[in-house]
Structure formats: structure tokens, C-alpha cells
Structure 1
Amino acid sequence: MEEDQIFINELQVPEICLQGLAHERLKESILHCQACSSAKLTKPLTLHNNEASLMIVGERADDVLFDSPQGKQLANLMAAANLDMKDVYFSSLLKCRESSEAANCQHHLIGEVMLVRPKLVICLGYNVCQVFDLQPDLGSYCMIYPNVHALFTYSVSDASGNQELIVLRTIQEQFSYVAQTIRHMKQQSA
């Protein structure tokens, strides 16, 4: 008798494919990935803090690296929302700095979510959201794995022109709500 397989939302990746994968082994598979023509390019994220309750995922590493303009803006938004960096695991959909082949990287991101098992994954930008929902609705929440939800929101890179203030305000409000929820959860567990 076959057991029902558990899949990651619409991606149809069986859980059994990623069970038993250790964090260090996943890091090695990302560093030595040969899935696309960008395989030999720089892989800038350190992939640590695997006990985090919150995961923030940008499309590119620059979206979450604090030495980039987008990363600095993200850090400012997080600080304004009082989000504690100790609660956050940062990642990106594209693992190589110069890559543009998201389909070849998404299995790494799914592996990270399954290993870290944060309470919430904040997906910055439409392409990241599509990893977990093929037709994401920005501003919505979705369960992507048992006890793991995703918030689909804008990327800091989306903040340009006359939409800049609206996008940044929306992200700020969402981060503030998430920070408040995390603080409340910690108080209840203490």
C-alpha cells in the first residue's frame, strides 16, 4: 500500500526527495551546482542561521545583501519594523550573482525552506513568489509546507518612480506586522 506523498504546493516536488538533506550538504550542492551555464559564477550568500523563524528571499543575492543598494534599503525597512536579524535567514532564488535562470535554482530554495522550516517565508518579488504559487497574489499569505507560510510581497527593486513610496510603505507595514507577530509568538512560548 503506497502512502500519499506530500508535495510542495504546486511545484509537485515530493517531500521524500529532500528528506534527510543536511544543511551543510545543501550548501555544498549550491556551491558546486552545475545546473546551468552560470555554474562557475560567484555564489555570494553564506546560507547560515538555519534555526530562524523567518526567511526572507530575494530574487537575486543583491536583494538581501546589505552591502548592495537594495540590501541597504531592506536593512532600513527591517530596522524600522524592529525585525531582529537573529530571527532571519536570508536567501535568494538565483544562487549565482550573474545568473538569470531561476528554473535551475528553485530546487535549492525549496531545499532551504525544508531544512530551515521557518514559520514564515517572505518572498520579495513576483519571480520568487512563483516558486511557491504559479499565480501569486502580492500581499497574500499561502501555506507552502506544513506549518510554513509564505507572504508574497514586492521586492525593494520594485520601488521606483512614482510607485516608490507606495511599495516601500507596503513592505514596511508588512514587516511591522511580521515583527509584531514574531514578538507575540516568543512571549507565548516563554
Structure 2
Amino acid sequence: METAYSTSTTTKWVIDTAHSEVQFKVKHLMITTVTGYFKTFNLEVETEGDDFTKASHIVFTADVDSINTNNEQRDTHLRSADFFDAENHAQIKFVGKHFEPDGDDYLLHGDLTIRGVTKPLTVNVEAAGTVVDPYGQTKAGFTVDGKISRKEFGLTWNAVTEAGSVVVSDDIKLHCEIQLIKQG
């Protein structure tokens, strides 16, 4: 009996946090946009060779306590049970399932978990390429954009102005600049 050997190898990639950022944008009073980001996050990816379209493992996490909107009072409120409930739900998690070509870019389908609620999420992924940096490390770059309804994840706090406008919009825009480092 012959044994078949695979010629492909699993490649592990980890995030380069010094060259990556995870942002969100939300409308305030429906007239301005507030931008926030997470200071502490992680992303691990395993691919077949260097082919990200054949990723077998994509796991992203962000620590809720690291949320920053450049306003400590607002950040404390976002960490509270009114929003992310960081005491009981310390992390946001996205598990990617599969890539789908979309013109020159890709759609990444997966599951997003916030406050213990998991919902399917599809994000747009622009692959910027793979290069070797001056230190001999192979790096891959991506821009990721998406949108979620915060209410679907139990982030339902809101207030109404005197004129009847809501304080915080339901739609949250996601924007990530991701740089991965090839391991081994």
C-alpha cells in the first residue's frame, strides 16, 4: 500500500501589533463620528503554504479593557454593563471560516462574539501583499473593513435628545490595518 504525502505545509502567522490597528467608528448624535480602537489584540492565522485563501485557522481577539476613544469617561462607560460588560466578557472574538474571492479583494466569512453573543459576520479584505522586511521577516498586509449592528450583540444602551435623536447609532463601522509575521 502506498502512502500519499502532501506537498503543502502549514504556515503560522502572528500579528505584528506595532504595525497593526483595530478601529471602530460610531455616529454620535447622528451628526459626528467618534473613532475608537483597541490597544490590546491578537490574531493568529494558519495557511496552506503562503496562500491565505486556504487558511485553516483564523482567530482574532481584542481585550475589551483596552478600548480607547480618547475620552476616559466614555471608555469607562463602554467597559460597563451598559455596553461591553468587560467584567463578564473580557474579550471580543472573531473566528474566520473561509475566504471568498471578490474581484481583486476577498470576503472573509466568520463568527463574531461580543458579550457572549455570536453572530455571523462577513468583512471585506484587501490583500496588500507579502514582503520581506529589512530584518529578514516575511510579512503580509491586509486592510479589513466591515459593519455590525451593535444591538444584535446586546449593546443596546442609548439615550434620546430633546429633539428625538438617538445619542449613539446602531451601526458600527470596523476598520483594521493588519500586518502579519510569518513564523518559523
User: TM class by shorter-chain length?
Assistant: under 0.3
Structure possessing the higher radius of gyration over alpha carbons: 2
More strand by share: 2
TM-score by length of 2: 0.25
TM-score by length of 1: 0.24
